[in-house]
Amino acid sequence: MVVVFLNRTFAAAAVALVALASGRARAADPPSETSFPAVTGPTGAAPPAAATNATDAPVDPRIGSADASRLRFVSGFGTHAAFGLAPAVAMGVHANAELVSAWASLGLEGRFDLPATGDGVDGRRIRTSVAGASVVPCLRAGRAWACGLVFVGRASSEWPSTATRDAAFLVWGAGARLAFHIGLPSDFALRLTADVLGHPDGYELIADNRTVLKAPAVSGTAGLGLVRLF
């Protein structure tokens, strides 16, 4: 009886020792890689957001851009060469003010052609200057504009006769303009323009019972200006 009791005791102790040894061995094993949380960076911060799409970039607000979305004000000035209203090519200056949207504009432009001297119909020398204003509605396509023109002005001429004579008369016409813009920093732009005007009621100067100057039915200008968007 004693021997059987001792054998059972030793067997139970051996099983307990084996179980204890197995538990310690499992505790010493390194944990599985899947037990670690996902790496989120040294500070645990979320990864950076994706780069902004190129279409979300700020809109170019310069005068030639067709992407401007609100009504803006434009003003500027420039110089031009005028053909037709005077007996020779005349240099001139102009200034403009406009309201501009994404696809259209409406402007008012003042113009002064410096006196130009040339030969009249009968060969005598005539000097003519022109001052006036135009209403300029435009449609925009990027940096190119297509415009209508309605011009009203005053032409002044001088010519020699038995004495120096002068005359002033109304000039008006309607036509079209093509304009192109070259963007510059700080909302400035260069504006290139080409205008054609028709004059249904062309003027005619008569002196000493002879025609001195007869205006053609068509005139034109080519201009270069500097404008700024506000």
- Report the range of poorest mean pLDDT among 61-65, 67-71, 150-154, 189-193: 61-65
42-71: burial string, b at 16+ Cβ within 10 Å, e else: eeeeeeeeeeeeeeeeeeeebbbbeebeee
Per-residue pLDDT for 6 more than 90?
Answer: no
Helix (H) or strand (E) holding 44: none
d(CA 78, CA 80): 7
Model confidence at 198: pLDDT above 80: yes
> Which residue type does 116 have?
A
For the chain, the distance separating the N- and C-terminal CA atoms, rounded to the nearest angstrom, is 113
Which pTM was predicted?
0.69
Q: Is the domain defined by 62-229 classed in CATH 3.40.50.2300?
A: no
pLDDT of residue 154: 93
